[in-house]
């Protein structure tokens, strides 16, 4: 189904949070203020790598208006954070390992005084040699950034015998691909406000993708039981994985407790760039061999991932990349060896696509290059290697049956770009060359084998007579509230006035796991399916006891519970009337786990979504500018619950991938960022994107599928880069191996500049 307003019908709904957003009334957490609030600032390192000799805060403390200056000495609990491994110091005391490392924090009565106080903190350093690339981290002479050395995590997956088989292949492609340090660039920079309450508890208003996880991490730092902390974490001005890890929270929390007053911190973009997470830059080498029929026989992969100074999720990202380097293809002989290494280059962490984007760019590039060499249509080559319904997953693990790969392979051929790609693309401007490219991907959702991935929710009638759900998930723009509203209206046939949705507040919601890994839609769908029967039967029993109408004849509906009397629909009780009878017995909760493969393959996924993408480009061969003029997507992710949200995720994820391919790179020189703001870190503007993208949603799931809608938060961002690169190849004859595409390099590599015959300009020669 091509997703749009027409095909969606009445499921195309104005978002519940819409009006507040378009009128500017919505208070984001960084917009909040409290009486007597102080302003917090964090002192960052002067160097990407140094030993700290001394820290002197006396002068800063003496400045009028400064209320508190804190360092590592003022941390009651653990001086560390990190979702998977808390090795990032809240405040450094012996070494600094990246230029965003925090050394002290200040709370003052105005932002100006806080800023001035930072300048008065005296830190003496002994500069150390830096590791500014992943390769350098592995040199025997490299300084050790952590006690265990510079390797955070290694993966090593092997089946068959690639070495022997590659020798016998009729064609082998070996290529190295490089991907950029992409920045999330949420428009709302990190921030929050931290309020010590009269009862001794602390309320944290700060965006995150997992309130309970923040609470746990903060409890550990503050040395207090988790229950003493309340985390309010929605609404959020964008996250994309970037706010899942702690950012301002430790500083705001510690400062506010030390002052006994509310403290607000809101990073400038500059501080956000310096301190915040980025996508892991990876260098991926693939050696892939085929037989004469185009059957891929062997695939060797090495991945070198620059994880920056601290762990956060660098290990799981590498696991994900390892799994996705094999893709939807059935390959008998495979070796994937990955290394995530520590450097002084900022901190890399979670980012939409989670390591898939990088390796899918490489893998699809391999397939296209093999097709070119074999003179087989690249799409046909894919078909010959695609997985079938019941095949094992990429790492040999059992996965829930999926035919998605074949379905998206087929469906993209309905895109108008497919037909167009078979024709010669003429251009009216002699400097513009046009091309169309295709790619596909399979993307795992959930956290994967071996990682706790709990879910849960509550459904109740609240005391105001509303059907209420509570989930520990977050709204960062993706449309969770809209999805929940649609699900509830669907289940209970009621009006939006009859429901109430609670999210993003650890005092009010149950633990539901993180809002990451494309898992949320699936988790809330499953939770409601579990809760609904119990809730309805308790509700109907109560109404029957009160009114005598047989429970079998009751149905929830607009404003209350209805029945048919003499063929006429009548309301038996309003929800409010039921609530007055008592609500204690009308609350139900559920806890369960994200579906996981039964096979013990660390990080291996069980549920997959698939996508294929077509992209058309115009390359200006005078300037090297690549303009993407059309993008069509197909996505196989099960039923569409929230069409506006689904479409938005694919459109938005796709343009994020367009930036990854064409313009985005947080450039570092000697481990220091030189792209400090949005003037030099360039995300796509409205002029850089196609005016529309089509999204063909394939809703069919294998018969008897119990898991329902898969999430689509990431899948739109994983497969566009290789499609653009294939289109550029078809336009110019040049293969790109490094992203973002460098304009100078692109024109210098143009075949005709080197007096070679231009190849690949017509589509046929490329496929």
Residues found near ligand FES in the complex (CB under 6 A): 187, 238, 477
Compute the least distance from the CB of residue 180 to ligand FES, in Å: 20
Nearer to ligand FES, 212 or 646 (CB): 646
Q: Are 520 and 480 in contact (CB under 8 A)?
A: yes
Compute the least distance from the CB of residue 738 to another protein, in Å: 24
Task: Identify which of 601, 606, 605 has the alpha carbon closest to the alpha carbon of residue 156.
Answer: 601
Q: Residue 14's binding partner, choosing from ligand FES, another protein, none, with beta-carbon cut-off 5 to 8 A by kind? A: another protein
Compute the least distance from the CB of residue 313 to another protein, in Å: 21
Q: Is the peptide bond before 422 cis (omega within 30 degrees of 0)?
A: no
Q: Residue 369's binding partner, choosing from ligand FES, another protein, none, with beta-carbon cut-off 5 to 8 A by kind? A: none
Nearer to ligand FES, 187 or 292 (CB): 187
Nearer to ligand FES, 189 or 556 (CB): 189
Q: Residue 21's binding partner, choosing from ligand FES, another protein, none, with beta-carbon cut-off 5 to 8 A by kind? A: another protein
Nearer to another protein, 263 or 647 (CB): 647
Distance CA 740, CA 664 (A): 6
Which residues partner with 183 through β-bridges? Answer: 278
Nearer to ligand FES, 187 or 622 (CB): 187
Q: Are 593 and 455 in contact (CB under 8 A)?
A: yes
HEC sequence for 275-311: HCEECCCEEEEEEEEECCCCCEEEEEEEEEEEEECCC
Compute the least distance from the CB of residue 473 to another protein, in Å: 15
Compute the least distance from the CB of residue 186 to ligand FES, in Å: 7
Question: For residue 663, what are its two tokens?
Answer: 């313009």
Compute the least distance from the CB of residue 644 to ligand FES, in Å: 13
Nearer to ligand FES, 437 or 477 (CB): 477
Q: Residue 759's binding partner, choosing from ligand FES, another protein, none, with beta-carbon cut-off 5 to 8 A by kind? A: none
Nearer to another protein, 188 or 323 (CB): 188
Nearer to ligand FES, 446 or 643 (CB): 643
Nearer to another protein, 237 or 378 (CB): 237
Q: Residue 45's binding partner, choosing from ligand FES, another protein, none, with beta-carbon cut-off 5 to 8 A by kind? A: none
Task: Identify which of 260, 397, 378 has the alpha carbon closest to the alpha carbon of residue 319.
Answer: 397
The separation between CA 522 and the C-alpha centre of its own chain, rounded to angstroms, equals: 16
Compute the least distance from the CB of residue 238 to ligand FES, in Å: 5
Question: For residue 27, what are its two tokens?
Answer: 């208070």
Q: Residue 198's binding partner, choosing from ligand FES, another protein, none, with beta-carbon cut-off 5 to 8 A by kind? A: none
Distance CA 594, CA 733 (A): 45
The side-by-side arrangement of strands in the sheet containing 568-574 is 555-557, 560-565, 568-574
Compute the least distance from the CB of residue 331 to another protein, in Å: 33
Distance CA 99, CA 89 (A): 13
Q: Which residues bind another protein (CB under 8 A)?
A: 5, 12, 14-15, 17-28, 31, 33, 112, 184-189, 235-238, 240, 268-269, 476-479, 644-645, 647-648, 651-656, 658, 677-679, 683-687, 689, 691-693
Nearer to ligand FES, 409 or 476 (CB): 476
- Residue by residue, DSSP assigns 202-262 as EEEE---S-HHHHHHHHHHHHTS-GGGEEEE--S-S--TTTTSS-SSHHHHHHHHHHHTS-
Question: For residue 31, what are its two tokens?
Answer: 């917009």
Torsion of the alpha carbons at 273, 275, 276 and 277, rounded to the nearest 10: 110
Nearer to ligand FES, 306 or 664 (CB): 664
Q: Which residue has the tokens 């009878």?
A: 581
Q: Residue 598's binding partner, choosing from another protein, ligand FES, none, with beta-carbon cut-off 5 to 8 A by kind? A: none
Nearer to ligand FES, 74 or 651 (CB): 651
Q: Residue 36's binding partner, choosing from another protein, ligand FES, none, with beta-carbon cut-off 5 to 8 A by kind? A: none
Give the single-character DSSP code of 601.
Answer: -
Q: Residue 365's binding partner, choosing from another protein, ligand FES, none, with beta-carbon cut-off 5 to 8 A by kind? A: none
Compute the least distance from the CB of residue 188 to ligand FES, in Å: 8
Compute the least distance from the CB of residue 477 to ligand FES, in Å: 5
- Show contacts of 530-537: CB within 8 Å, 24+ apart: 530/590, 530/592, 531/457, 531/458, 531/459, 531/588, 531/589, 531/590, 532/459, 532/491, 534/588, 535/459, 535/460, 535/586, 535/588
Distance CA 601, CA 156 (A): 12
Compute the least distance from the CB of residue 633 to ligand FES, in Å: 19
Q: Residue 240's binding partner, choosing from another protein, ligand FES, none, with beta-carbon cut-off 5 to 8 A by kind? A: another protein
Compute the least distance from the CB of residue 499 to ligand FES, in Å: 24
Task: Identify which of 607, 684, 696, 606 has the alpha carbon closest to the alpha carbon of residue 646.
Answer: 696
Length of the chain: 767
Nearer to another protein, 66 or 286 (CB): 66
Q: Nearest 5 degrees, angle CA 205-CA 471-CA 583?
A: 110
Cα 702 to Cα 396, 402, 637, 754: the distances in Å are 20, 7, 11, 52
Q: Residue 140's binding partner, choosing from another protein, ligand FES, none, with beta-carbon cut-off 5 to 8 A by kind? A: none
Quick count: other Cβ atoms within 10 Å of Cβ 547?
Answer: 14
Nearer to ligand FES, 470 or 480 (CB): 480
Q: Residue 24's binding partner, choosing from ligand FES, another protein, none, with beta-carbon cut-off 5 to 8 A by kind? A: another protein
Compute the least distance from the CB of residue 263 to ligand FES, in Å: 23
Question: Which residue's CB comes closest to ligand FES?
Answer: 187
Spell out the residues 6+ positions from residue 699 whose beta carbon is closer than 8 angstroms to its own.
1, 638, 639, 640
Q: Residue 17's binding partner, choosing from ligand FES, another protein, none, with beta-carbon cut-off 5 to 8 A by kind? A: another protein
Distance CA 759, CA 767 (A): 12
Spell out the residues 6+ positions from residue 102 whose beta carbon is closer than 8 angstroms to its own.
42, 43, 44, 45, 89, 90, 91, 92, 251, 275
Q: Residue 479's binding partner, choosing from ligand FES, another protein, none, with beta-carbon cut-off 5 to 8 A by kind? A: another protein
Compute the least distance from the CB of residue 21 to ligand FES, in Å: 8
């Amino acid at each position: 189904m091509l997703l749009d307003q027409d095909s969606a019908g009445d499921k195309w709904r104005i978002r519940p949070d819409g009006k507040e957003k378009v009128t500017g009334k919505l208070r984001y957490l960084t917009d909040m203020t409290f009486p007597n609030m102080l302003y917090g600032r964090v002192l960052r390192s002067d160097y990407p790598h140094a030993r700290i000799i001394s820290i002197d805060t006396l002068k800063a403390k003496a400045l009028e208006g400064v209320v508190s200056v804190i360092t590592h000495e003022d941390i009651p609990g653990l001086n560390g954070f990190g979702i998977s491994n808390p090795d990032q110091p809240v405040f450094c005391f012996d070494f600094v390992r990246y230029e965003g490392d925090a050394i002290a924090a200040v709370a003052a009565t105005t932002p100006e005084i806080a800023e001035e106080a930072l300048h008065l903190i005296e830190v003496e350093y002994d500069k150390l040699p830096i590791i500014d690339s992943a390769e350098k981290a592995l040199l025997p002479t490299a300084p050790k950034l952590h006690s265990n050395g510079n390797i955070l995590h290694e993966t090593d997956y092997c089946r068959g015998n690639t070495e022997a088989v590659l020798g016998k292949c009729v064609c082998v492609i070996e290529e190295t691909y490089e991907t950029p340090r992409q920045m999330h660039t949420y428009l709302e920079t990190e921030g929050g406000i931290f309020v010590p309450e009269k009862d001794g508890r602390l309320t944290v208003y700060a965006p995150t993708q997992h309130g309970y996880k923040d609470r746990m991490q903060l409890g550990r730092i503050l040395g207090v039981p988790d229950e003493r902390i309340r985390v309010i974490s929605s609404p959020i001005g964008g996250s994309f994985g970037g706010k899942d890890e702690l950012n301002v929270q430790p500083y705001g929390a510690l400062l506010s407790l030390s002052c006994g007053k509310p403290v607000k911190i809101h990073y400038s973009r500059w501080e956000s760039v310096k301190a915040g997470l980025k996508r892991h830059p990876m260098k991926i080498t693939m050696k892939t061999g085929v037989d004469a029929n185009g059957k891929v026989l062997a695939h060797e992969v090495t991945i070198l991932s620059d994880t920056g100074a601290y762990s956060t999720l660098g290990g799981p990202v590498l696991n994900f990349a390892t799994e996705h380097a094999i893709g939807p293809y059935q390959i008998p002989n495979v070796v994937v060896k990955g290394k995530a290494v520590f450097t002084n280059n900022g901190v890399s962490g979670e980012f939409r696509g989670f390591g898939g984007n990088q390796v899918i760019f490489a893998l699809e590039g391999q397939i296209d290059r093999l097709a070119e060499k074999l003179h087989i249509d690249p799409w046909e080559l894919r078909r010959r290697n695609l997985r079938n319904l019941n095949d094992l997953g990429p790492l040999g693990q059992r996965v829930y049956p999926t035919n998605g790969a074949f379905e998206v392979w087929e469906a993209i051929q309905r895109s108008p770009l497919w037909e167009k790609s078979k024709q010669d693309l003429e251009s009216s401007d002699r400097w513009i060359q046009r091309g169309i490219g295709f790619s596909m991907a399979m993307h795992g959702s959930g956290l994967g084998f071996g990682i706790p991935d709990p879910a849960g929710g509550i459904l109740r009638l609240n005391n105001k007579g509303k059907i209420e759900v509570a989930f520990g998930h977050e709204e960062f723009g993706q449309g969770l509230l809209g999805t929940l509203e649609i699900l509830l209206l669907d289940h209970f046939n009621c009006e939006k006035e009859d429901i109430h949705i609670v999210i993003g507040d650890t005092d009010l919601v149950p633990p539901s796991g993180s809002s990451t890994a494309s898992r949320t839609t699936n988790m809330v769908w499953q939770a409601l399916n579990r809760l609904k029967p119990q809730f309805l039967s308790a509700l109907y029993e109560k109404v029957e006891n009160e009114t005598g109408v047989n429970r079998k004849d009751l149905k929830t509906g607009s404003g209350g519970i209805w029945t048919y009397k003499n063929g006429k629909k009548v309301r038996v009780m309003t929800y409010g009337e039921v609530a007055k009878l008592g609500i204690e017995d009308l609350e139900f909760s559920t806890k369960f786990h994200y579906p996981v493969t039964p096979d013990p393959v660390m990080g291996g996924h069980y549920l997959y979504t698939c996508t294929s993408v077509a992209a058309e480009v115009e390359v200006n061969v005078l300037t090297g500018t690549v303009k993407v003029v059309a993008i069509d997507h197909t996505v196989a992710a099960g039923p569409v619950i929230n069409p506006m949200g689904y479409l938005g995720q694919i459109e938005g994820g796709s343009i994020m991938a367009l930036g990854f391919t064409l313009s985005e790179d947080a450039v570092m020189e000697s481990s220091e960022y030189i792209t400090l703001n949005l003037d030099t870190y360039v995300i796509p503007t409205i002029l850089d994107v196609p005016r529309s993208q089509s999204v063909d949603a394939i809703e069919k799931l294998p018969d008897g599928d119990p898991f329902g809608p898969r999430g689509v938060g990431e899948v739109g961002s994983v497969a566009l880069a290789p499609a653009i690169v294939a289109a550029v190849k078809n336009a110019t004859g040049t293969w790109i191996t490094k992203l973002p595409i460098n304009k100078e390099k692109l024109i210098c590599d143009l075949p005709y500049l080197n007096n070679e015959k231009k190849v690949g300009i017509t589509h046929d020669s490329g496929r």
